[in-house]
Amino acid sequence: MTPERPRRADAIPQRKAAPEGVSPAVEPSPSFPLGAGTLYAALDLGTNSCRMLIAQPKGSQFQVVDSFSKTVQLGVGLEASGRLSRASMGRTVQALRICQKKIEKHGVRRMRLVATEACRRARNAKEFIRQVRRETGLSLEIIAPEEEARLAVISCAPLVSPRTEQLLVVDIGGGSTELVWIDLSAVPPEERARSIMRLHRGFQPQGEQAARVVDWISVPLGVATLKDQFGDVEDDAARFALMSWFFEENLASFSPYNAQQARDGFQIIGTSGTVTTVAASYLNLRRYDRTKVDGLQMTSDQIDLVIREYLQLGPEGRRTDPRIGRDRHALIMSGAAILQALMRIWPTDRLSVADRGLREGLLYAQMSADGVLEDGPYA
């Protein structure tokens, strides 16, 4: 029998004030004219990856003109030391130099460059932010968990069904997992996607016929940090089971935990590399295709089938599986453990897969604040 693991003091869900040094959202007033040709950049520096989109407004949405994604493993060793290592900071600065060159090449004038859980937790985060500014000229902003959750939610608005009355959005990151439960029952069906977009202003109610955030939580367990918690467990299946149970334990303070929801009118949207990888594996995509994954509906049985196949493959089989990819194979089981826990807690027929997240939310929030999006279903 496996002994009960002590609950770590730092694995406590956050939902209140931002930690010291975390900046709130700041939208400076531009001193230049804005319009459809203005380019915007959104950079998401997470615990595992550095990702950026450069886009321009197009109608009620935006068109991506350039992108960047690199696994930097910024949070390696953070769980044990509480600090960002010199090697991980060096890798990240190299990636950010590429981002800076892309920003300069395109003449981007509006941007938000944000860092999340690894920098929220690291004792030397301020030192790292200064190093980035000194070596790349980029100003990183550490955002609070609530804003991270809010940006992930609004990016998923186009996937919200008009039939959805209760919505759960889950963003599985490298260092944390955000969950937001939204009551849409008072919103007319044709207005539900638009009401989600309006949450970029905050989680507070915006009127009688508005999306109402029932609860939100940021659990400091993502694919990298959860994996580190159980790195000493050698058996693959046992490690997976422990990770899933441990994650579920950390959801106990989330008010809709174990909510008895009717299947009709309830929708879960999952946004993360874990969710899109599980979807790609189910579709047997040896080469990833966003158009086939984004918006895909997966049943609980289909998700369980993929996870069981991952377990049967074992670590070596997952490493060589082209559907998982070299950058994802070491983290897919911790992500799958989180996903399995969620589907166990809230039994539902299906999960909506979202290949979108923080970067898209950042772009939408900037463009919406600047008033450069046309009025439409997502404006």
DSSP state of 156: T
Q: Same domain, yes or no, for 226 and 114?
A: no
Q: Same domain, yes or no, for 110 and 183?
A: no
Q: Same domain, yes or no, for 201 and 297?
A: yes
Domain CATH number, residue 335: 3.30.420.150
Q: Is residue 208 part of a domain?
A: yes
Q: Is residue 48 part of a domain?
A: yes
Domain CATH number, residue 71: 3.30.420.40
Q: Same domain, yes or no, for 126 and 165?
A: no
Q: Same domain, yes or no, for 106 and 238?
A: no
pLDDT digits (tens, 9 = 90+) for 175-217: 999 999 999 999 999 999 888 988 877 887 667 778 999 999 9
E strands, the chain, where? Answer: 40-45, 49-58, 61-71, 110-115, 141-142, 166-172, 177-183, 212-219, 266-271, 297-299, 350-354
Q: Same domain, yes or no, for 245 and 346?
A: yes
SS3 of the chain: helix, strand, coil, percent, to 5: 40, 20, 40
Domain of residue 273, residue span: 157-356
Q: Is residue 33 part of a domain?
A: no
Q: Is residue 239 part of a domain?
A: yes
345 burial type by CB count under 10 A (0-12 exposed, 13-18 middle, 19+ buried): middle
Q: Which two tokens stand for residue 139?
A: 């100003």
Q: Same domain, yes or no, for 218 and 102?
A: no
Q: Which pLDDT value is given to residue 17?
A: 40
Q: Same domain, yes or no, for 162 and 286?
A: yes
Q: Same domain, yes or no, for 163 and 138?
A: no
Q: Same domain, yes or no, for 120 and 180?
A: no
What CA–CA distance (Å, rounded) separates 173 from 272? 6
Nearest-10 crossing angle of helices 273-282, 332-345: 90
Q: Which pLDDT value is given to residue 198?
A: 84
Low-confidence ranges of the chain (pLDDT < 50): 1-12, 15-29, 376-379
Q: Same domain, yes or no, for 125 and 163?
A: no
Q: Is residue 46 part of a domain?
A: yes
Q: Is residue 108 part of a domain?
A: yes
E strands, 161-313, where? Answer: 166-172, 177-183, 212-219, 266-271, 297-299
Q: Is residue 179 part of a domain?
A: yes
Give backbone dihedrals phi and psi of 147, rounded to 5 degrees, phi first: -70, -35
What CA–CA distance (Å, rounded) separates 166 from 159? 14
CA–CA distances in Å: residue 127 to residues 220, 332, 372: 22, 31, 36
Q: How many domains does the chain have?
A: 2
Q: Same domain, yes or no, for 72 and 191?
A: no
What CA–CA distance (Å, rounded) separates 138 from 132? 6
